[in-house]
Amino acid sequence: MDMLQSPTHSSAMNKDDLLVIAGAGGFIGGSLTRYFHDKGFTRIRAIDKKPLPDWYQRVPGVACLCMDLSEKDHCIRAVEGATEVYNLAADMGGMGFIERFRVECLRSILINTHLIEAAYQAGVERYFFSSSACAYNTLLQQDPHVRALKESDAYPAMAERGYGWEKLVSEMFCQEYWAERGLETHIARFHNAYGANGTWYGGREKAPAALCRKVIEARDTGKYEIDIWGDGHQTRSFMYIGDCVKGIDMIMHCDDLIATPINLGSSELVSINELVSLIEEIAGVKLQRRYALDAPRGVAGRNSDNTFIKQVLDWEPSTPLRVGLAVTYAWIEQQVADRKAGKRVVKET
């Protein structure tokens, strides 16, 4: 049988193991589906509640199912026969979404609660949960010159309201399913991911995609202005999607990372103003900046401390922001042109 060795550890997978990917109609789930397909996995079941035509990516040869995984019975059907389950499904978006729709964010708890129980009952070998840097204590993120967040900074807990608390409690489920019931779980705390095939308009998009779109629109309309949320001094790090999916694979197949939350993010810290400058450079324009000081801005500063991931995997997400942004910008530019021409584009539902 064809075996895939984990890049750093001895866990092995068969290429005909059934992988279930929840949230596969979205950005990261769609990219993870393509990643495993391209690695030669022949049995992938991709699931999302969105109708199939609205999925961001449909990978040929992959079984794609439209199911609402906040329902227990759907979760039981979803994981039937699975070796591994990846939970990338959540009701989420950028700052504009998670600050406004806290109840929707909290209700994502239903997905993980039912999916992990179904995975346990079905005897799956490994379960992955996509947590977030929003699980960290917000009191540690009040300064743009933030010290990077390390894994132990989640407790004492003061997570981001709504979205962050859902992540923290779902992490706890993963830890207790391992401690009490022996289900092998793996938990990554993603810091902002960006790249092609993600949300780029409609209200759920995150800063890199939103700013690429705004720069493209400013250039196309000849109105050389851009609205920026906040004062532009807030700082963040941004992880390229290629690093994100590779990191998920490595974390899931590392025996030292069972039920152990770990940062998966870039440590290249930039301010939003610097992010805009990078995109301007790529586009070859210079825009007049207008600051929307009462728009949602999130915490003042956030970065990923990668000491632990480097120690345990001898790796960290390292695609330079400039490189990943160029790819993302080109993809959004094409999407904008396609939408103008009346063609189907990635759209929010």
Q: Binding residues for ligand NAD, per CB under 6 A?
A: 23, 25-29, 48-50, 68-70, 88-92, 111, 130, 132, 190, 192-193, 199, 206
Closest to ligand NAD by CB, 170 vs 259, is 170
Ranked by CB distance to ligand NAD, the top (closest) residue is: 26
Cβ at position 220, least distance to ligand NAD in Å: 25
Q: CB of 317 within 8 A of CB of 255?
A: no
113 Cβ contact list (under 8 Å, min separation 6)? 170, 173
User: Residue 120 catalytic?
Assistant: no
8 Cβ contact list (under 8 Å, min separation 6)? 250, 254, 312, 313, 314, 315
Closest to ligand NAD by CB, 68 vs 227, is 68
Cβ at position 12, least distance to ligand NAD in Å: 26
Cβ at position 210, least distance to ligand NAD in Å: 12
Closest to ligand NAD by CB, 199 vs 303, is 199
Cβ at position 10, least distance to ligand NAD in Å: 27
Cβ at position 157, least distance to ligand NAD in Å: 17
Active-site position among 35, 56, 86, 163: 163
Cβ at position 345, least distance to ligand NAD in Å: 14
Closest to ligand NAD by CB, 218 vs 240, is 240
Catalytic residues: 163
